[in-house]
Amino acid sequence: MTIDMDLVNLTLGIVGTIAGVVSLTVHLWRLKRENPRLTINVLSCEHYFENETKVLSFWSETELRNLGDRGTDMLGIDLKFEYKEKDYNLKMSNQEPLVENGSIRWIRPHQTIRTFQTAFIKFEGPPKEQLDCIFTLYHTHGAEKVKAKSQKRKTTYE
């Protein structure tokens, strides 16, 4: 009885290729499943224009929910809006004492947190009653965007 080594090598090659493809597929599926999947809900967003100083202020409260199986660092939140065909980008400042090493907060898997942010910018004229805004949340594994509307506040926060 003779063994055809070419047939054995071909069989082992096919089995190895199939095992490698299955292993790679499972690994990619686990990576996708385990990554943080963040949802952002803007609970409130308001702006106020100070006529004397020409400063436009924003206040917002957001709810961040991690639906994934891996935690992530919140690195920052940006606010973008357009007014009279000009784009404005603001870096939101977190108003909680949980800012450490430049990141807002660690969000664990399946955790929901609320954050409060403010931002200020020099602005030439009074804005509209309502501004269309885009919030961008930067975290360790990427960035998430959400649209919101900012309502004009009659007085400033004290």
Q: Are both 26 and 54 inside the same structural domain? A: no
pLDDT confidence band for 1 (50 / 70 / 90) = low
pLDDT in tens, 76-117: 889 999 888 888 898 988 766 555 555 557 888 888 888 888
**Considering the domain boundaries, does residue 84 fall inside one?**
yes
Share of the chain above pLDDT 70, in %: 90
pLDDT above 80 for 32: no
Q: What is the mean pLDDT of residues 23-50?
A: 86
Buried b (16+ CB within 10 A) or exposed e, 22-40: eeeeeeeeeeeeeebbbeb
Q: What is the mean pLDDT of residues 119-130?
A: 85
Q: Are both 23 and 96 inside the same structural domain? A: no
Q: Which residues make beta-bridge pairs with 142?
A: 139
**Considering the domain boundaries, does residue 157 fall inside one?**
no
**Considering the domain boundaries, does residue 24 fall inside one?**
yes
Place of tokens 């603001």: 90
Q: Residue 75 class from Cβ within 10 Å (0-12 exposed, 13-18 middle, 19+ buried)?
A: middle
Secondary structure (DSSP) of 116-143: EEEEEEE-SS---SEEEEEEEEEETTEE
Q: Are both 23 and 61 inside the same structural domain? A: no
Q: Are both 134 and 99 inside the same structural domain? A: yes
Q: Which domain holds residue 13?
A: 1-34
Compute the distance between CA of residue 127 and CA of residue 56 in angstroms, rounded to an integer. 8
In this structure, what token pair is assigned to residue 27?
């690994």
CB 56 within 8 A of CB 86: no
Tell me, rounded to whole angstroms, the distance of Cα 69 from its chain centroid.
16
